[in-house]
């Protein structure tokens, strides 16, 4: 998880978007496992998840929708990172999850005021997507998207929020893509020196 935001981490479950995309999820079970690792689902969610995944048809439909959302978010974030306009049809897909996310939530009032309360019995898969949608919404609304970056590593293209002081972070992670770049640059220098 290098994105610094659940929506970016979700988008980053695909590498090499503009080349030969590699999907690390594969199906709804893969999504569920990833959501567990990402901290979006835990405890009783995982019990509910098992039951949801046992319903093949429902799980397949969910994954199809989630994948469409992932691609739409990627295009929206990429446009934002480049200072370009997002496509309306992508924003439509994004917004369809707002409706979906709201389905299990309601506004209630207690002694501290109004609160949004989201039902615990909402399906785990839907709940994980709600958190992803909310993270995406937060990202677009709070205008940190001028700090959105796309990793320059070979076959990577992961997106992340650059929180460095100078705003010049180039790699999703120094341990992977940054290091690979250093090794390549070193080899190139050695070759030209030989």
Among residues 10 and 158, whose Cβ is nearest to Zn ion?
Answer: 158
Q: How far is it, in rounded angstroms, from Cα 111 to Cα 154?
A: 54
Q: Closest CB to Zn ion among 94 and 158?
A: 158
Residue whose CB is less far from Zn ion, 96 or 176: 176
Q: Which residues lie near Zn ion (CB under 5 A)?
A: 151, 153, 156, 158, 172, 177
**Whether the Cβ atoms of residue 105 and residue 117 lie closer than 8 Å to each other:** yes
Backbone angles phi, psi at 111, to 5 degrees: -65, -20
CA distance 72 to 92: 9
Shortest distance, position 106 Cβ to Zn ion, whole Å: 40
Give yes or no for a contact between 171 and 181, defined as CB atoms under 8 angstroms apart.
yes
Q: How far is the CB of 162 from Zn ion (least distance, A)?
A: 13
Shortest reach from residue 82's CB to Zn ion, in Å: 17
- Rounded CA-CA distance 138/101 in Å is 14
**Please, what is the minimum distance in Å from the beta carbon of residue 35 to Zn ion?**
22
Smaller CB separation from Zn ion, 70 or 130: 70
């Amino acid at each position: 998880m290098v994105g610094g935001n659940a929506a970016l981490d979700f988008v980053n479950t695909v590498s090499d978007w503009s080349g030969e995309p590699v999907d690390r999820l594969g199906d709804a079970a893969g999504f569920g496992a990833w959501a567990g690792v990402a901290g979006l689902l835990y405890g009783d969610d995982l019990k509910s998840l098992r039951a949801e995944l046992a319903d093949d048809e429902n799980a397949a439909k969910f994954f199809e929708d989630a994948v469409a959302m992932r691609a739409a978010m990627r295009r929206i974030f990429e446009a934002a990172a480049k200072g370009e306009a997002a496509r309306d049809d992508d924003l439509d897909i994004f917004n369809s999850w707002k409706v979906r996310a709201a389905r299990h939530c309601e506004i209630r009032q207690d002694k501290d005021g109004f609160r949004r309360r989201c039902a615990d019995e909402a399906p785990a898969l839907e709940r994980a997507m709600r958190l992803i949608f909310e993270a995406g919404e937060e990202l677009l609304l709070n205008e940190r998207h001028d700090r959105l970056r796309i990793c320059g590593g070979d076959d990577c293209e992961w997106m992340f929020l650059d929180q460095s002081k100078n705003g010049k972070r180039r790699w999703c992670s120094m341990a992977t893509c940054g290091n690979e770049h250093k090794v390549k640059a070193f080899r190139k220098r050695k070759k030209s020196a030989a």
